[in-house]
A and B are shown apart, each in its own frame.
Chain A
Amino acid sequence: METFTDNILAVLLFTDLLLVGMSRLSGCISLVAVQGVLVGLLPLFSPEHVNPRSIVFFVVVCALKGVVFPVVLSRAMRSVNARREVEPFVGFGWSILIGVGILAFSFYQAKQLPIPSALVAGTMVMPAALATILIGIFLIVSRRTAVTQVLGYLVLENGISTFGLATVSGIPLLIELGLLLDVFVAVFVMAIMIYQINREFDHIDADRLSTLKG
């Protein structure tokens, strides 16, 4: 089972790198959806194997992250007539380099962290989670449009769930679902905000929201 977890996490890292280098917004949205489903798969291969809890979780995650989020986000993107490119502050070449740097850092840093090996299924969990979190932050700060900031937030959240699902076994289902619900509402609220910002400004460039200073 550990190899399964490791392989899922390897694919997760692969999607991280793709995200950093992806220039089409719709492509990014589907990649984030794929990531979400991958994260949902993790509990199925946890040490306790398949149980009702992990199945419920998997179904909810697939429905939310795999279907609802992409639909909400693509509708937001389309209806505000956003340009379909990601428009980074940091060029794609640099982005990829930074992505690789983040990867190396995460693997290095994860070794320093004192996570007891008994807790973690496989050696990949900590580095994968850390890398996904950092890539999420990088996407938030380095991309121009509001939609990509939401995507960055989701990637960040995926990284945190990766860590949570793979390490802390004692989290009740209720809290995991609460967390998901919160993320769901957050995405929804942000999508509404994107509509409103677009109506008011005729653009959704987060970097041009800079009237307020000091």
Chain B
Amino acid sequence: MQGTSIIPYLLSLVLAPLALGVINRVKAVFAGRKGQPLLQAYFDIFKLLRKGAVYSRTTTWIFRAGPVVSLGAVLLSLTMIPWGGFPALLAFDGDILVFVYVLGVARFFTVIAALDTGSAFEGMGASREVLFSAIAEPALLLGLVTLARLTSGWSLSTVLPGVSTATWIMAGASLSLLCLAWMIVFLAENSRIPVDDPNTHLELTMIHEVMVLDHSGPDFACILYGSSLKLWTLGALLANVLVPVRTGSAFIDILATIGGVFALAAVTGVIESTRARLRLLRVPHLIAAAGALSVLSLVLLVR
């Protein structure tokens, strides 16, 4: 266990909520507002941790377990992400599949916790979440397979570091399609515009937010932290491909990837400020298009 593996992991745990702050700040700048402090997410989490939780009488232990298990799953998935071309904390052949399914477990527990409340709104959000992620998952997975094929490895720790400027020159078309597909997956999985509006207050149109309406106090803190970590994890995945800085110096490379994540957050902010949310009926088309792009990128590589 080297410093190059554990330090970026700890850094991620600390910096993850900051990415949310960056997104919000970019949106505020676009709207001409001063906006909330960059550290607002941290404040929210600490505030929630200090509060007590309220539980509905209809809920069971599943409702309480949901947020904690989800957070744990996301933490686990983050351990598999390599930083700046150096191996991750957890690396073994085939972990690209495990990575996707650990994220799936996180989603599963959020969803069943939502269903456990027995509320119509939560159920609606859960059904949408499951539908969209069912379409988004193949796109993510096929993208990973493309990379695996490109770098001939089956572990994130060999696949992602394998992407360098040389690979970009060799398979530029394929990689750009892949990035486009993953960008859509990134937005969809993190419930950002144009798939979902994190700031909405209209239950009929919400997806992620509506699922967690009934959680409060420390549970909600777990959820908030968990979703910021998920954003960070998927962002790191994409940043590893998009910013293939491989100088060999741990400090610079890891910093480049982290910078990449923040840049992605900024881009997300720009997208959120300039685009409108899609009609719900259109969302599956967008995510299916991501799947199509992944297929195309794989096909271009395999042919």
Q: Please say whether the chains A and B touch (CB closer than 8 A).
A: yes
Binding site for B on A (CB under 8 A): 6-7, 10-11, 13-14, 17-18, 21, 23, 92-93, 96-97, 99-100, 103-104, 107, 123-124, 127
- Cβ-defined partner of A100 (8 Å) among B177, B282, B292: B292
29 contacts between A and B (CB under 8 A): A7-B172, A7-B173, A10-B174, A11-B173, A13-B296, A14-B296, A17-B289, A17-B292, A17-B293, A21-B285, A21-B288, A21-B292, A23-B282, A23-B285, A92-B282, A92-B285, A93-B284, A93-B285, A96-B289, A96-B291, A96-B292, A100-B291, A100-B292, A100-B296, A104-B295, A107-B299, A107-B302, A107-B303, A124-B300
Complex-state Cα separation, A124 to B172, whole angstroms: 14
Q: In the complex, which residues of chain B have a beta carbon less than 8 angstroms from the beta carbon of A14?
A: 177, 293, 296
Contact partner of B285 (CB less than 8 A), chosen from A7, A13, A96, A100, is A96
Smallest beta-carbon distance A110→chain B, Å: 8
Given A7-B173, A21-B288, 5 other A-B contacts at CB below 8 A?
Answer: A6-B173, A13-B300, A92-B288, A93-B284, A104-B295
Measured CB to CB, the closest approach of chain B to A104, in angstroms, equals 7
Instruction: Give A114 to B15 CA distance when docked, in angstroms.
Output: 56
Q: Residues of B at under 8 Å CB distance from A?
A: 172-174, 177, 282, 284-285, 288-289, 291-293, 295-296, 299-300, 302-303
Contact residues in A for B295 (Cβ distance below 8 Å): 100, 103-104
A11 CA / B288 CA spacing, docked (Å): 19
* Complex CA distance for A99 and B293, rounded to whole angstroms: 11
Please determine whether B296 and A17 come into contact, CB atoms closer than 8 angstroms.
yes
Question: Considering residues A11, A21, A23, A96, which has the most beta carbons from chain B within 10 angstroms of its beta carbon?
Answer: A96
Chain A residues with Cβ below 8 Å from B284 are 93
- Give the distance to chain A from B38, nearest Cβ to Cβ, in Å: 37
Q: Closest CB-CB distance, B295 to chain A, in whole Å? A: 5
CA A25 to CA B71, docked complex, whole Å: 44
Nearest-Cβ distance from residue A72 to partner chain B, whole angstroms: 28
**A116 CA to B102 CA in the complex, in Å?**
47
Partner of B288, one of A18, A97, A124: A97
Closest to A99 in B: B292
- A10 touching B300 in the complex, CB below 8 Å, given contacts A92-B285, A96-B285: yes
- Among A13, A14, A17, A104, the most chain B Cβ lie within 10 Å of the Cβ of A14
Which residues of A have CB within 8 Å of B288?
A: 21, 92-93, 96-97
